[in-house]
């Protein structure tokens, strides 16, 4: 059995753990599929590159509202796809080669399973390797969840792992799911010319968002897509390119392609972590403490396989924490998930941080709401925006910010002063009145929402 000082399972955010400070250690990296992980290959980066392209397409289509005559010509899907993945595949290959070339790093390309505490069996395709280590970092991420009704049908389907690389946009795309992955990819293919049907079991899209955002986004989506809300898929039949989805109310949906976007599941089951003594939550996430340590001495975990907030910027922060703790076991750092901002790169864009109004209400918080519309500020006039808004929640009396939610252009940028204020404990009144706010920048919508709080 080959022994290493450190083994990292997963070459996504786990790969970021291994910096120059680990050059004197015998390190191994185990990767089953993609160097760079989900984010680089089938997640954050390609989806946002496609989303930006979709926004360009829609900007041309909407140019007439600004008195500009513009015509949208051909959407060259393969050119778009190849531009994106040509770049990202090269990045993946460069990252892989960098690890292969490092003298102190051994790369195992295959599937790992625990056989005991800090012991692994790796199936490389060319054979099986048994390895052990003083310390192990589990960063194997997650995979798209697949409902049994789809898996058992025997018919083809796409997930976020595959759909962005297809040869051509389908004429009719059925999207199963109503979360952020479903919303972003529906927009990409709508812009590329597909007719979209979304099947979602909840009564609204993006139900994890603040209720105001979810309601208004759903209303906008209804003008673009065929929404089947409050419905579940009970049957799938047909043949490749001609699928029929049966819903629980007896209605059917015809589609050329089915995109399954019903969430993701941690890869812990495929690693057989129990054999390594590692505990998991009911949903499959590995149990870790604030320092990213599992219950097994010397074994850490990070990213989607363990995190309560499965986002890339969270995984990156956890990777920093794990790297520090591996190097400084007597001065442990902790990962704080209290205030994690998030964005949905649809049109309109959505961003949020902190509590939703429904969460404040459920906790019986004494809170107030401030809201401003894009059309209430000068830059919103320039954009002719009639749907965007900023909503802030604060504790009555103190002005302590509890949450913030923005729907509209540049939302992922506009949320950042609110993230900073909440992180540093700056109250709503101080944030609104003490710094200068550039006029007539779009950030004024944030200021106006803060001023709208009746504290």
Q: Is 59 helix (H, G, I), strand (E, B) or coil?
A: helix
Residues 389 and 373: beta-carbon distance below 8 Å: yes
- Catalytic pick from 3, 313, 405, 439? 439
Burial class (CB in 10 A: 0-12, 13-18, 19+), 91: middle
Structural contact between residues 112 and 232, judged by C-beta atoms closer than 8 angstroms: no
Query: Strand, helix or coil at 393?
Result: strand
Check if 439 is active-site: yes
Residue 325 sits at φ, ψ, to 5 deg, of: -70, -30
Q: Which tokens is 379 given? A: 């830059």
DSSP summary character for residue 341 = -
| Mode of pairing for the β-strands spanning 401-407 and 350-354 | antiparallel
Q: Is 114 exposed, middle or buried (0-12, 13-18, 19+ CB in 10 A)?
A: buried
Q: Are strands 242-247 and 252-255 parallel, antiparallel or unpaired?
A: antiparallel
Q: Distance (Å, rounded) from C-alpha 446 to C-alpha 419?
A: 12
- Tokens for 312? 């890339």
CA distance 334 to 241: 49
Rounded Cα distance between 252 and 269, Å, is: 34
Torsion of CA 274, 275, 276, 277, to 10 degrees: 50
Instruction: Report the distance separating Cα 164 and Cα 53, nearest Å.
Output: 13
β 128-138/2-9 pair status: parallel
Chain centroid offset of residue 260 CA: 15
Query: b or e along 29-41 (b: 16 or more beta carbons within 10 Å of the residue's beta carbon)?
Result: bbbbbbbbbbbbb
β-strand partners of 353: 404
- The residues annotated as belonging to the active site are 439
């Amino acid at each position: 059995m080959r022994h290493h000082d450190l083994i990292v399972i997963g070459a996504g955010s786990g790969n970021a753990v291994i910096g120059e400070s680990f050059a004197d250690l015998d390190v191994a990296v185990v990767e089953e599929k993609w160097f760079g992980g989900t984010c680089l290959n089938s997640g954050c980066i390609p989806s946002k590159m496609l989303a930006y392209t979709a926004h360009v397409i829609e900007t041309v289509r909407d140019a007439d509202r600004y008195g500009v005559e513009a015509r949208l010509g051909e959407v060259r899907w393969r050119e778009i796809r190849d531009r994106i993945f040509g770049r990202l595949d090269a990045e993946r290959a460069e990252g892989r080669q960098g690890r292969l070339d490092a003298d102190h790093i051994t790369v195992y390309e295959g599937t790992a399973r625990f056989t005991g505490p800090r012991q692994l069996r790796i199936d490389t395709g060319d054979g099986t390797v048994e390895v052990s280590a003083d310390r192990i970092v589990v960063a194997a991420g997650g995979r798209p969840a697949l409902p049994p009704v789809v898996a058992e049908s025997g018919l083809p389907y796409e997930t976020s792992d595959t759909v962005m690389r297809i040869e051509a946009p389908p004429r009719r795309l059925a999207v199963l799911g109503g979360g952020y992955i479903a919303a972003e990819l529906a927009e990409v293919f709508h812009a590329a010319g597909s007719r979209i049907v979304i099947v979602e079991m909840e009564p609204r899209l993006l139900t994890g968002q603040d209720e105001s955002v979810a309601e208004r986004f759903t209303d906008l989506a209804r003008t673009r897509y065929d929404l089947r809300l409050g419905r579940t898929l009970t049957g799938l039949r047909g043949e490749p390119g001609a699928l029929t989805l049966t819903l629980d109310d007896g209605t059917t949906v015809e589609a050329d392609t089915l995109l399954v976007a019903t969430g993701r599941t941690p890869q812990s089951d495929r690693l057989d972590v129990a054999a390594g003594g590692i505990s998991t939550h009911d949903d499959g996430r590995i149990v870790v403490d604030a320092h990213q340590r599992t219950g097994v001495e010397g074994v850490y975990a990070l990213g989607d396989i363990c995190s309560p907030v499965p986002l890339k910027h969270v995984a990156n922060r956890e990777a920093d924490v794990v790297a520090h703790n591996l190097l400084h076991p007597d001065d442990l750092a902790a990962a704080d998930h209290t205030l994690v901002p998030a964005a949905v790169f649809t049109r309109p864009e959505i961003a949020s941080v902190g509590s939703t109004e429904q969460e404040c209400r459920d906790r019986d918080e004494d809170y107030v709401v401030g809201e401003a519309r894009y059309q209430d500020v000068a830059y919103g006039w320039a954009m002719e925006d009639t749907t965007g808004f900023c909503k802030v929640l604060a504790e009555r009396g103190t002005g302590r910010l509890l949450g913030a939610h923005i729907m509209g252009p540049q939302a992922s940028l506009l949320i950042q002063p609110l993230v900073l204020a909440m992180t540093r404990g700056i109250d709503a009144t101080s944030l609104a009145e003490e710094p200068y706010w550039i006029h007539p920048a779009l950030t004024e919508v944030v200021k106006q929402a803060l001023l709208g709080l009746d504290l």
